[in-house]
Amino acid sequence: MLRRLLLLVTMGLLAGLIPALLDARPAAADVPAGFEDSFVTPVSRPTAMAFTPDGRMLITTQPGQLRVFKEGALLREPALDLSKKTCSNSERGLLGVALDPDFSSNGYVYLYYTYNKSGACPVHQPQRNDN
């Protein structure tokens, strides 16, 4: 009798849970007061961004381009194109950008990317027999 009751309760819970799971949508993030969430510019495969003191947005792309968004528009040409020097397959590529703390005086921008040293990018994870 108890077993049958538990089975009925479980089935009832599942019957109520399945429609909720099928209709599950990601929760929308609440935007704080004074801010807005809006599409700025189309950039293919963006990986990171940084803002300069004068308001430019620097955007890195996985294939190896550093793009600049300035005064409301994406500049037509990349500021830098490292695509011939990077491995951008899998989780590799131009992955980060940072400004030097003294950027205003020295203009230094630091990039984090996977360098293509040998002319061929690895396609598999390294394997060791002693693991």
pLDDT tens for residues 48-106?
Answer: 999 999 999 999 999 999 999 999 999 999 999 999 999 888 888 999 999 999 999 99
Segment 100-118 shows an average pLDDT of: 93
pTM of the model as a whole = 0.69
Question: Considering only CA atoms, which of 36, 75, 32, 34 is closest in space to residue 52?
Answer: 75
Rg (CA), the chain: 24
Q: What share of the chain is helix, strand, coil (3-state, %, to 5)?
A: 20, 25, 55
